[in-house]
Amino acid sequence: MKSPNDLSLIAPCGMNCGICMAYLRDKNKCPGCRGLDVTRSKCKQIKHCPTFENGRAQFCFECEKFPCSRLKHLDERYRTKYNMSMIENLEYIKKFGLKEFVKNEKTRWTCPECGGTICVHKGYCHSCGKKKE
């Protein structure tokens, strides 16, 4: 399994697939949006976007429609339910670069108790169960 801090786990929409419940689970595991078998990705946002189907961009901020209505809808849901913003993530990547973003993500989503990964959807460590502070 890739480390949740792997650069290839950052989806075009700004999601860190390494902290996603679908990626962390043991059964019917999602390979991530940039995995070898993208057709198995659980994310509908990326699968059906013509910009990415045609390979015209690596990240949504490179699209002339950024932020599109689909991304805005996804962002609003994640802000409300999970206290995370895809649009903020993308703006951070654009301004500071992918490596810096991943470094920041590692700090944000690593469990202080055991060093495991905190799931953005569940709000607790996938390894030890400690709740995110």
9-67 tens-digit pLDDT? 898 899 999 999 989 988 888 888 776 555 555 565 665 677 766 667 789 999 888 99
Confirm if 4 and 16 have CB atoms less than 8 A apart. Answer: yes
Altogether, the residues listed in the chain come to a count of: 133
Q: Over the stretch 93-132, which tens digit does the pLDDT of each residue have?
A: 999 999 999 999 999 999 999 999 999 999 999 999 888 7
CA distances from 133 to 25, 91, 110, 112, 124 (A): 22, 24, 11, 10, 9
Q: For the chain, give me the number of helices (H) and strands (E)? A: 6, 0
Looking at residue 84, what is its pLDDT? 94
Single-letter code of the amino acid located at 115: G
pTM above 0.95, yes or no: no
Looking at residue 1, what is its pLDDT? 45
* Pairwise CA distance, residues 20 & 66, whole Å: 23
Cα-based angle 64, 97, 107 (whole degrees, multiple of 5): 125
Distance of CA 115 to the CA centre of its chain: 19
Residue 4 above 70 pLDDT?
no
Q: Where are the domains of the chain?
A: 7-109
* Pairwise CA distance, residues 47 & 41, whole Å: 8
CA distances from 8 to 5, 18, 30, 73 (A): 9, 9, 14, 24
